[in-house]
Amino acid sequence: MEQPILNGLIQYNTEGSYPWHMPGHKRRLNTIFPDMVENPFSIDVTEVGDLDELHDPKGIILKAEERAAKIYGSDKSYYLVNGATCGIMAAVSAVCNHGDTIIVARNSHKSVYNVIRLLGLKAVYILPEWNDELCMFGGISPDSVKKAVKEHPHAKAVLIVSPTYEGVVSDVEKISKIVHKEKMPLIVDEAHGAHFEYMSNVVETISATNYKNVAKPAIRLGADIVVESLHKTLPAMTQCAILHMKKGYVNEKKLDEFVSLYQSTSPSYVFMATIEACIEKMDFERDGKFLVLKQLVVDYRKKFAELANIHLVGGDDFKKYSNSDYDYTRFVFSVKNCGMETEDGVVPVTGQMLADILEKEYGQMMEMAGGNYVVAISTIADSKEAFESLLLAMETIDKQLMNYSYEADTILYDSLPEKRMEIYEAGTKAEIRVPLDDAVGRVSSDFIFVYPPGIPFVTPGEVLSKDCIRGIKRAIEFGRNVKGVTSEGANKNYVNVVKEIRNSWLPIRKKRI
Ligand SMILES: Cc1ncc(COP(=O)(O)O)c(C=O)c1O
């Protein structure tokens, strides 16, 4: 029997590498849910008997969702079995009609771009602050939101990502006030911050350097719709997520309809049961496992901060940009300005190289490799021993590195590409494939991005500039997972662009005399 997927999973498990990646349960179910059923098939049913309906909850599912709303302080919470992806698409669909304008952070997730395309929306982008020293996006400054809502008063909503993949938390409280002043709703993609609710009340109990505060959940800071992936930072199964809503700026009936529209009509009760177990258990563990995690984070942040070459990213790196906060459970290690001695001399160390060394030589699997950094996600499932082994690996690698200046993975995010048409419109045009080098000045018909995190160099409808192409080529050189570019032959890269009808090709119309 051929079972490549199962075999792949078994192989991954037996390799024994340690997961500094999602899902947040880290496959250590017994330590978190000792009473959870071991065989998921035994609770895998459909909507029968008194088991209620996710699409029209009136019984046990409604009760569970009401309990979630109470815990999170929302007016209504929705269980999501198709990930934060479906929640984000539902949120945007509930506040925008076809062809409307929406203001979104440029570092938005794919799901945001997808719903913009589906609804034929006009997108106005806000660039997050670009941290030049780290070559990394920071938070969204309240001033940039103010400017965008003033310039686009007809926009139907503002959507931001907070925290970012790299742990930067924007000033949601200030931003929500600015957005509400213009009578617009604020949607926060808090996919990476589902743990904020449970960490924020242990803030006063520990004080330590480099750990000033614990970011608060956006739904308690004035956001109108907040979408969280439970599976990223909490012990829930992959795809389990939740959407919270506050009444006032959101049409509840439309939100009900769209949350339903984007979810499977056969929602998994296994997922729903783990969402419920996760929320109840996390609520119980506020002063238990979360306190332990917080202490581990404090202790190990101090130790990682002593590395000579590898830099542990923290809130101080972003303080000068705006009033942003930081998720200290996120361990981002920057190797910008690091080099390594090889047979060919000293070479720059990229994020991918560090991730590869950590995986192959130390069995430490990172969540993500950026151009010059790696991201590790810590959760309540991580033990002291796990932190200790990561520290040991980092200390050993750090000793092999040296200070070395190099041109980092320069994706020039200091300005937005020129937009010639909206995303949906580009999707309706004929396209042609051209070599990347010949694409300067052409309109892209695809998204071109590095995954993860999926922030586009260009979206369909935007112009591929010289700088943009240089950034794409650099990302390819750095071994990053670039989507929207195909390779063929001797390293030749191709992209799809909108087929332009040049004036000279148009039939000449004869003037009537
Ligand atoms: C910022 C952000 N938003 C949303 C999502 C989608 O979350 P999910 O995987 O739960 O659908 C992701 C996934 O990586 C993400 O990084």
Cβ proximity of 303 and 391 under 8 Å: yes
Looking at the domain assignment, is residue 35 inside a domain? no
Same-domain check for residues 300 and 447: no
Q: Give residue 306's domain range.
A: 289-403
Other Cβ atoms less than 10 A from the Cβ of 396: the count is 12
Residue 463 is classified by DSSP as B
Average pLDDT, the chain: 90
Residue corresponding to tokens 């698409």: 89
Q: Which residue out of 79, 229, 238, 264 has the highest number of ligand 1 atoms within 8 Å of its CB and is therefore the one to mutate?
A: 229
The token duo for 370 is 């950026």
Q: Which atom of ligand 1 is nearest to the CA of 86?
A: 11
Burial 441-476 (b: 16+ CB within 10 A, else e): ebbbbbbbbbebbbbbbbbbbbbbbebbbebbebbb
Q: Where are the alpha helices (DSSP H) in 287-383?
A: 289-304, 316-319, 351-362
Same-domain check for residues 253 and 295: no
Total structural domains in the chain? 3
Distance 193 CA to ligand 1 centre (A): 11
Q: Is the pLDDT of residue 407 over 50?
A: yes
**Final residue of a structural domain among 346, 371, 403:** 403
Q: Which residue out of 108, 232, 237, 375 has the highest number of ligand 1 atoms within 8 Å of its CB and is therefore the one to mutate?
A: 232
Nearest 10 degrees: Cα torsion 506, 508, 509, 510: -170
Q: Which atom of ligand 1 is nearest to the CA of 232?
A: 10
pLDDT, tens digit, 9 for 90 and up, residues 144-160: 999 999 999 999 999 99
pLDDT for res 255: 98
Looking at the domain assignment, is residue 53 inside a domain? no
Distance 229 CA to ligand 1 centre (A): 7
Average pLDDT over residues 246-262: 98
Same-domain check for residues 265 and 122: yes
Looking at the domain assignment, is residue 447 inside a domain? yes
| DSSP reduced 3-state for 396 | helix
Same-domain check for residues 259 and 315: no
**Final residue of a structural domain among 344, 368, 403:** 403
Question: Could you tell me which residue, 40 or 334, shows the higher pLDDT?
Answer: 334
pLDDT, tens digit, 9 for 90 and up, residues 359-394: 999 999 999 998 899 999 999 999 999 999 999 999
Same-domain check for residues 273 and 311: no
Same-domain check for residues 90 and 233: yes
Q: Does ligand 1 lie within 6 Å of residue 243's CB atom?
A: no
Nearest 10 degrees: Cα torsion 117, 82, 20, 192: 60
Q: Does ligand 1 lie within 6 Å of residue 358's CB atom?
A: no
Nearest CA to ligand 1 atom 14: 453
CATH of the domain at 496: 3.90.100.10
pLDDT, tens digit, 9 for 90 and up, residues 439-487: 999 999 999 998 877 889 999 999 999 989 998 998 888 778 899 999 8
d(CA 459, CA 122): 12
Question: Could you tell me which residue, 35 or 153, shows the higher pLDDT?
Answer: 153
Same-domain check for residues 454 and 321: no
Distances (CA, A) of 127 to 139, 196, 410: 9, 24, 16
Distance 266 CA to ligand 1 centre (A): 22
Same-domain check for residues 345 and 468: no
Distance 86 CA to ligand 1 centre (A): 10
Same-domain check for residues 317 and 251: no
Same-domain check for residues 276 and 303: no
Residue 70 burial (10 A CB sphere; 0-12, 13-18, 19+): exposed
